[in-house]
């Protein structure tokens, strides 16, 4: 064994997978003016395939201030994961009023929430306008009736969520790509097709070009959400709808060619 190997960090599966996702981040997911790579939580699920283990490891990394996990309130259970250092650097370099003060507070707020009273009102307003903070009440309003957090109005008004400018736009574009892939598979016999069939679809090519995402990013999201499954041989890769994928695709049925039977 090379004695230098002892100096290499012993990464968990989650850490190694996150490092891969961030290094493989497509341009459309490099958010903020200072390009900041981020990954979707479901993409991690696709690589590690043990959601509970991923969640536990991310909790450890979050408390150690190694990663930052961001809630996207308008998009259900979506989470963005990025390096805490990258988030802090992008925030400080944003030039937004109050950004440096907020960056100094980040080690105290390793979760998704921060109290409005922790920063002065002009800074909170400027950061919210720039997309670095969003009102927590948006999360409550976006959630279903059984998911709404049980907090009073005063506490809700004082609660903010840490955010990343452009995250909402990323999720909108990713959702469009996700639906297009599901629509293609829905039209195929048994909801199954070779990966190259999806990759060569004009609708997919158009959406990927507009969003600056890539098919790999979209497929990881779909696999992590358990909407499709992927099987590979030495020569081919096959994509297939799961029962949940059939349900999601049927909710927005494709136009044009009738689904194969």
Average pLDDT over residues 47-65: 94
| Top-confidence residue, 48 or 111 | 48
The tens digit of pLDDT for each residue in 177-229 reads: 999 999 999 999 999 999 999 999 999 999 999 999 999 999 999 999 999 99
Asked if residue 91 is part of any domain, the answer here is: yes
The answer to whether residue 5 is domain-embedded is no
Which pLDDT does position 72 carry in this prediction?
Answer: 83
pLDDT at 148 > cutoff 80: no
Note whether residue 187 is domain-resident: yes
* Whether 67 and 157 share a structural domain: yes
pLDDT tens, position by position, 120-137 = 999 999 999 999 999 887
Q: Same structural domain for residues 186 and 69? A: no
> What's the whole-model pTM score?
0.83
Instruction: Flag whether 2 is in a domain.
Output: no
Same domain, 182 and 124: no
Residue that wins the pLDDT comparison between 92 and 139 = 92
Between 243-251 and 167-187, two packed helices, what is the crossing angle to 10 degrees?
Answer: 100
Domain count, the chain: 2
Claim to verify: residue 28 and residue 120 sit in the same structural domain: yes
108 and 179 fall within a common domain? no
Are 42 and 140 within one domain?
Answer: yes
Please report which confidence band the pLDDT of residue 110 belongs to, taking 50, 70 and 90 as the band edges.
Answer: confident
What is the predicted pLDDT for the residue at 137?
73
CA distance 180 to 204: 7
Same structural domain, 47 and 176 = no
Q: Based on the fold, state whether residues 122 and 77 are members of the same structural domain.
A: yes
Query: Which of 103, 132, 165 finishes a domain?
Result: 165
**Whether residues 183 and 126 fall in one domain:** no
- Are 208 and 195 in contact by the 8 Å Cβ rule? The answer is no
pLDDT value for 7:
52
What pLDDT is stored for residue 9 in this prediction? 60
* Domain CATH number, residue 231: 1.10.10.10
Which DSSP symbol is given to 260?
P
Can you say how many angstroms the Cα of residue 88 is from the centroid of all Cα atoms in its chain?
A: 18
Q: What is the 3-state composition of the chain as percent helix, strand, coil, each rounded to the nearest 5?
A: 55, 15, 30
Confidence of residue 66 (pLDDT cuts 50, 70, 90): very high
pLDDT value at position 138?
A: 58
Residue span of the structural domain in which 176 resides? 168-251
* pLDDT for the residue numbered 153: 45
Among 145, 165, 185, where does a domain finish?
Answer: 165
Domain boundary among 108, 130, 165: 165
Interhelix angle 215-224/41-48, nearest 10 degrees: 80
| Inside any domain, residue 97 | yes
41 and 127 in a single domain? The answer is yes
**Same-domain pairing of 90 and 115:** yes
Q: Is the pLDDT of residue 1 over 50?
A: no
| pLDDT band with cut points at 50, 70 and 90 for residue 156 | low
Q: What is the pLDDT of residues 19-42, one digit of tens each?
A: 999 999 999 999 877 789 999 999
Are 181 and 62 in a shared domain? no
């Amino acid at each position: 064994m090379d004695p230098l190997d002892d100096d290499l960090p012993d990464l968990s599966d989650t850490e190694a997978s996150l490092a891969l996702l961030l290094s493989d981040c497509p341009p459309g997911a490099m958010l903020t003016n200072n390009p900041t790579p981020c990954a979707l939580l479901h993409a991690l699920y696709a690589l590690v395939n043990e959601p509970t283990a991923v969640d536990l490891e991310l909790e450890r990394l979050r408390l150690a201030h190694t990663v930052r996990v961001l809630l996207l309130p308008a998009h259900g259970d979506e989470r963005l994961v990025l390096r805490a250092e990258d988030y802090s650097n992008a925030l400080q370099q944003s030039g937004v009023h109050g950004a440096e003060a907020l960056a100094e507070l980040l080690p105290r707020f390793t979760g998704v929430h921060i109290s409005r009273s922790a920063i002065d009102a002009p800074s909170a307003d400027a950061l919210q306008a720039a997309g670095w903070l969003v009102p927590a009440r948006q999360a409550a309003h976006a959630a279903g009736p059984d998911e709404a957090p049980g907090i009073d109005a005063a506490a809700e008004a004082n609660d903010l969520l840490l955010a990343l400018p452009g995250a909402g736009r990323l999720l909108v574009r990713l959702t469009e790509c996700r639906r297009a892939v599901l629509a293609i598979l829905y039209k195929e016999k048994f909801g199954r097709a070779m990966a190259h069939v999806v990759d060569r679809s004009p609708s997919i090519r158009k959406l990927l070009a507009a969003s600056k995402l890539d098919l790999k990013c979209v497929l990881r999201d779909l696999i992590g959400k358990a909407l499709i499954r992927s099987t590979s041989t030495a020569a081919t890769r096959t994509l297939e709808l799961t029962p949940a994928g059939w349900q999601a695709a049927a909710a927005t049925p494709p136009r044009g060619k009738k689904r194969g039977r």
